[in-house]
Amino acid sequence: MRATWWLVTTALLTTVLWGQPDRTRYIPALAYGPNVWSIIRLTNTGTAPASARVEVYQEDGMRLPIGPPSMFDIEPGATRDIRIDGKTGRDEVCWARVTLGDDVEARGIVEILEGNALEDFPRAAHEISDRARWVTLTSAVTGKYLYFLNAAEQATVVTFCAADQPQPGVCKKKQTTAIRVPVGPKQLIGVQVRKPHRRFFITESSAPGAAVLTLFDTGPGDKRFFGSKSTVEFGDAQP
């Protein structure tokens, strides 16, 4: 593994806002760079043509052009892949906002090419949360990466701390070690959770309203091996 964004999603720590009329979904922790790219896969499960709008943002919240167009049509029963592959000499993190038409589903995939192997890492599409605070057991996050996406138009300050009690305000106590990170509008941040010596791991946002909090692990992806005759083998087999 060369960077944190190639990790496999293991949990979603947010609660979500159900019933958004425009069916907007968010796909965090995508990536592109040398031998790395991402795919937004749109699937129309219905019997009529449908469309979806795909907007991609860099880690700092700046828009990453992928078109025109930003609207994509999908035929009934068909799947359409939108490739994110910016012109850069280094690995970059990005995220996508997808507005889905009726019967259209979306998911993300990060693909890494190393030698004759192509490794895929799935990225689920999430709804946003209006929560200001998330609490989980430290045993569930130790050694993993936590990504916080501020999908709002306003900045916020995100606080991470570990404590033996989960009550509100514990991150502000003098005996509690806390990390505070300013996060701009549409910005994505990631932190590695080492080994907190407390029972609970807490994340707090100073400006709740539109966030996605996801947890990633350092597991392997799905590999495809390319042989000399351009065949593809799945699993652990060598060409």
93-126: pLDDT as tens digits: 999 999 999 999 999 999 999 888 899 999 999 9
Residues 23-44 have pLDDT tens digits of: 999 999 999 999 999 999 999 9
Under 8 Å between Cβ of 119 and 220: yes
Average pLDDT score over the chain: 85
Under 8 Å between Cβ of 132 and 159: no
Q: What is the three-class DSSP state of 28?
A: strand
What domain count does the chain have? 2
Whether residue 227 is found in the same domain as residue 212 = no
Whether residue 156 is found in the same domain as residue 108 = no
Would you state the torsion angle of the CA atoms of residues 141, 2, 8, 178, taken in this order, to the nearest 10 degrees? 20
Identify the CATH number of the domain in which residue 44 sits: 2.60.290.11
Residue 239, domain member (yes or no) = no
Task: Burial-class residue 16 by CB neighbours within 10 Å (0-12, 13-18, 19+).
Answer: middle
Whether residue 142 is found in the same domain as residue 107 = no
Whether residue 153 is found in the same domain as residue 111 = no
Cα–Cα dist 2/190, whole Å: 15
Residue 144, domain member (yes or no) = yes
Residues 122-181 have pLDDT tens digits of: 999 999 999 999 999 999 999 888 999 999 999 999 999 999 999 999 999 988 999 999
Identify the CATH number of the domain in which residue 176 sits: 2.60.290
Q: Which pair of structure tokens corresponds to residue 212?
A: 């996605």
Range of the domain at 56: 4-10+19-127+221-234
